[in-house]
Amino acid sequence: MSAAVGNNDDAQTVPYIAHEEFVRGVPYGHFRVIVNPTLARPYVVQRMRINGLAITSILIGAVLALSVSGQALPGAALVALGIGANRLVRHQAGKIVLHLAVKDPAVYAEVTSNGVMEVRRAVG
């Protein structure tokens, strides 16, 4: 019985759907999109260069805090902004991957072939 379930699941999985068909079908619910959050977070961070952004804002914040005589508030605000932006992007990684995949065929091909995103035909 489990083999039948596995075969049914394999029948729903689409190995490759053209980007144009994907873009046309997603708004109408023709596909079920599954984004792997474990793989999506590092992909989005690498793709958007978030680590560099966070480090840069932390360094700028630290420099401002040290350069302004005795006023650490602007530096602390930039540090908090950099950390918050990094966490926000990591938290929204699945939605960002889907958005990037709809907008760019190269991203769509990359995320579907590397297991970051799986596309299945909607049942019913």
Q: How far is CA 105 from CA 5, 26, 38, 55, 113, in A?
A: 32, 14, 22, 30, 12
State the average pLDDT over residues 112-118. Answer: 92
Q: Which residues pair with 35 in a beta bridge?
A: 117
The mean pLDDT value of the chain amounts to 79
Number of domains in the chain: 1
For residue 44, what are the domain limits?
2-121
Q: Which residues contact 118 (CB under 8 A, 6 or more apart)?
A: 13, 33, 34, 35, 36, 112
Q: Which residues pair with 77 in a beta bridge?
A: none
Position 93 confidence tier, pLDDT thresholds 50, 70, 90:
very high
CA distance 91 to 87: 6
Least confident of 7-16, 53-62, 72-81: 7-16
Could you tell me which residue, 3 or 112, shows the higher pLDDT? Answer: 112
